[in-house]
C-alpha cells in the first residue's frame, strides 16, 4: 500500500476534526491554518492545538505501521521456512513413492522383465528373491522358531565368551 505524504494526512485529520463545512472551519480559524500545514521539513513547529493533535495522531499511526511491518516480516520469514520444509518433505515422499513403485525387473523364463512391484532393499518381488511371505502352517512356524532359537544360542556363545 502506498503511503500518502504527511501534508495530505494533516489536512485529512483536520478535516476529520472540523468536518467538511467551510463555515465551521472558518469559525475555528482553520482555513488560514491549513495553508501552513503542520511540521514539515523547513516549516515551523505546530502552534495550534489542532496541529499538535494531528502530529500526535500521525506519530501513533507511523508507530502502528512500523509494528505491523515488523510482524509481517516475522510472519513472512516463518512462512518461508515452513514452505522450505514442506518442499523437502514432498521431495522425500516423491522419491520414496518412485522407489516403492519400481518394478522387480528380474528376467522371467519367457525372457521379459518381471513387472511386479519390487520390495525391500534389493528391489525384487517375492517370486524373485524379495521379502518372504513367511511360514503358513503351524509346523512351518515351529520350524522357524526352533531355527531362530539355535541361531541366537550360537550368537550368544560367540559374543559372551
Q: What is the pLDDT of residues 127-144, one digit of tens each?
A: 887 777 788 899 999 999
User: Which of 76, 79, 7 has its CA nearest to residue 40?
Assistant: 7
For residue 68, the enclosing domain spans 6-76
With 0-12 / 13-18 / 19 or more C-beta atoms within 10 angstroms meaning exposed / middle / buried, residue 54 is buried
Q: Is residue 29 part of a domain?
A: yes
Q: Is residue 118 part of a domain?
A: no
Cell numbers 467538511 label which residue? 20
Q: Is residue 38 part of a domain?
A: yes
pLDDT, residue 117, reads: 84
pLDDT, residue 55, reads: 85
Q: Alpha-carbon distance 146 to 135, whole Å? A: 13
pLDDT over 70 (residue 13): no
Q: Is residue 103 part of a domain?
A: no
Average pLDDT over residues 78-96: 92
What confidence tier does 85 reach under pLDDT thresholds 50, 70, 90?
very high
Q: Is residue 131 part of a domain?
A: no
Q: Is residue 57 part of a domain?
A: yes
Residue 124 DSSP one-character state: B
What confidence tier does 72 reach under pLDDT thresholds 50, 70, 90?
very high
Total number of residues shown for the chain: 161
Q: Is residue 137 part of a domain?
A: no
- Please write the tens of the pLDDT for every residue from 17-61: 555 555 555 555 554 444 444 444 445 555 688 888 888 899 999
Number of domains in the chain: 1
CA angle centred on 67, ends 13 and 39, rounded to 5°: 35
Q: Is residue 20 part of a domain?
A: yes
What confidence tier does 83 reach under pLDDT thresholds 50, 70, 90?
very high
- Please write the tens of the pLDDT for every residue from 94-130: 988 887 788 888 888 899 999 888 776 678 887 887 7
Amino acid at each position: 500500500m502506498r503511503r500518502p505524504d504527511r501534508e495530505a494526512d494533516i489536512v485529512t485529520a483536520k478535516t476529520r476534526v472540523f468536518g467538511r463545512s467551510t463555515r465551521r472551519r472558518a469559525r475555528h480559524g482553520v482555513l488560514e491554518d491549513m495553508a501552513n500545514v503542520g511540521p514539515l521539513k523547513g516549516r515551523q513547529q505546530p502552534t495550534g492545538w489542532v496541529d499538535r493533535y494531528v502530529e500526535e495522531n500521525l506519530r501513533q499511526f507511523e508507530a502502528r505501521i512500523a509494528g505491523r511491518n515488523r510482524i509481517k516480516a516475522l510472519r513472512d520469514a516463518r512462512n518461508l521456512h515452513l514452505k522450505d520444509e514442506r518442499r523437502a518433505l514432498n521431495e522425500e515422499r516423491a522419491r520414496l513413492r518412485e522407489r516403492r513403485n519400481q518394478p522387480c525387473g528380474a528376467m522371467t523364463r519367457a525372457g521379459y522383465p518381471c513387472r511386479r512391484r519390487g520390495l525391500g532393499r534389493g528391489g525384487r518381488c517375492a517370486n524373485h528373491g524379495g521379502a518372504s511371505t513367511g511360514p503358513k502352517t503351524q509346523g512351518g512356524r515351529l520350524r522357524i522358531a526352533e531355527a531362530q532359537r539355535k541361531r541366537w544360542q550360537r550368537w550368544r556363545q560367540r559374543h559372551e565368551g
